[in-house]
């Protein structure tokens, strides 16, 4: 397992994506990306998720003006139109 916090996979640059699949079985978490040249890459995950959102501008190859998103609990019942 990689200990990198952020990385790139240069071998994938320029490939055209045909299909993306996410598997979320109880004991298997996998992201598979199939390319049009009949190759694929897959990433297997051990998940312990902690959600945190951030909204940023992306200009000149740099993230600027970061703003932390604050999640709000939804407590009100959502009304439907009866369909």
The model's pLDDT over 55-80, given as tens digits with 9 standing for 90+, comes to 787 777 677 777 887 766 655 555 55
- Cβ neighbours of residue 21 under 8 Å, at least 6 residues apart? 30, 31, 32, 33, 34
What would the two tokens of residue 29 be?
């978490």
The string of pLDDT tens digits covering residues 25-46 is 777 788 899 999 999 999 888 7
pLDDT surpassing 80 at residue 47: no
What DSSP string runs through 65-79? EEEEE------SPPP
């Amino acid at each position: 397992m990689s200990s990198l916090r952020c990385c790139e996979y240069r071998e994938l640059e320029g490939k055209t994506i045909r299909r993306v699949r996410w598997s979320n079985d109880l004991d298997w978490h996998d992201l598979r990306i199939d390319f049009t040249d009949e190759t694929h890459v897959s990433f297997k995950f051990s998940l312990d998720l902690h959600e945190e959102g951030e909204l940023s501008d992306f200009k000149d190859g740099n993230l600027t003006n970061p703003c932390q998103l604050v999640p709000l609990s939804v407590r009100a019942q959502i009304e439907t139109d009866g369909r």
